[in-house]
Homo-oligomer: A and B are copies of this chain.
Amino acid sequence: MYHRTELQEAFNRFLKAQQLIKNPSQLYEPVEYALDSGGKRIRPVLLLMAYQLYHEDIDNAMSPALGLEMFHNYTLLHDDIMDKSAMRRGHPTVHSKWNDNVAILSGDVMSILASQYVLKAKKNCQLLLERFNQAAIDVCEGQQYDMDFEQLKTISEDEYIKMISLKTGALLAAALEMGGIVADAPVDDIRKLYDFGMKMGIGFQLQDDWLDCFGDESKLGKIIGEDILSEKKTYLFIKAYELADNAQQNALDHAFKTHDLPADDKIQFVLDVYRQLGLDELIKQKSDAYFDDAAAALKAIQVDEARKEELYKVLNYLKGRSF
């Protein structure tokens, strides 16, 4: 059984051994660049962890793990064009380092390469690719809902949870599920692995919303309140409008709709209302409840608890993160 960091390193070695740059180099250089720029490799590591619940020979699961990471980085690449983001993980994004056309086309080829790597799995590759494709479709739908929400005055809590299930949960769930499929795990286990990943993903996203408002700026490496400044419809935004009394609603409207308000004031006005409504506690409870559901799904998998240790650790690591 390998630890998280060992799996991460093994994955990075496998990635480095690939000959990603071919001709035309203009097409493939951004592919390597996008994959090189780091990140915690959380999806491939989860796939490998699910696999090693059943087998030790993780080399057999490396190709689909890379397919998944390739797909994830491709969605970031295209998202960055759509959001006009100039930087990611401290480096210029592909479209700002090269241009939009390069970013579109290199992203397109990454999507196909992702599918090719998934197909190289030694076992059950038709089912594996079907499930991978379904997750990929889910991510696109989630991204579309997220963009749709920008145009709406309010959305319901259910709609929000559905959006993050698709945009964030689906690919984490697929990581676990795909690990189970490559390992030829029992169907019931595969379903629970998916459920574990989905619940963990929703908890993770809710915690992200919490961190953006109540996190520790120095550990987070970014300023508090970015979601407020960009008027993103997060869980906190939605619940605030749902629970606010008239005075609080006016305060929110004032903060969100007055365009010449200094950024710091805007953030403080909104955070005050969030705190008055106890949303810092409420979202933590909600997020923890999803993490607990994830733990329950993991517990129900028909494998020795000892073998699940690394997955429990990841869950606790994500739950306790302050970055």
A contacts, CB < 8 Å to B = 23-24, 26-27, 75, 78, 81-82, 100-101, 104-105, 107-109, 111-113, 115-116, 119, 125-126, 129-130, 133-134, 136-137, 140-141, 143-145, 147-148
Contacts and interface: CB of A to CB of B under 8 A. Distances in A.
Tell me how many chains of this kind the complex includes: 2
A140 B143 CA distance: 24
A145 B113 CA distance: 18
A186 B116 CA distance: 24
A155 B274 CA distance: 63
A76 to B, nearest CB: 12
Contacts of A107: 108
10 contacts: A24-B148, A26-B144, A26-B147, A26-B148, A78-B104, A81-B101, A109-B137, A112-B140, A116-B137, A119-B126
Main SS of the interface on chain A? helix
Contacts of A81: 100-101, 104
Given A26-B148, A101-B147, A105-B144, 17 more contacts: A24-B144, A24-B145, A24-B148, A27-B141, A75-B108, A82-B101, A82-B105, A105-B143, A111-B111, A112-B133, A112-B136, A113-B137, A115-B129, A119-B130, A119-B133, A126-B126, A129-B129
A27 B144 contact: yes
A150 B244 CA distance: 58
Q: Which among A108, A113, A133, A145 has the greatest number of chain B C-beta atoms within 10 A?
A: A108
A164 B54 CA distance: 47
A105 B125 CA distance: 26
B111 A112 contact: yes
A140 B109 contact: yes
A290 B150 CA distance: 53
Contacts of A141: 23-24, 27, 109
A107 B107 CA distance: 11
Contact of A126 (B24, B104, B125): B125
Contacts of A113: 137
Nearest to A108: B140
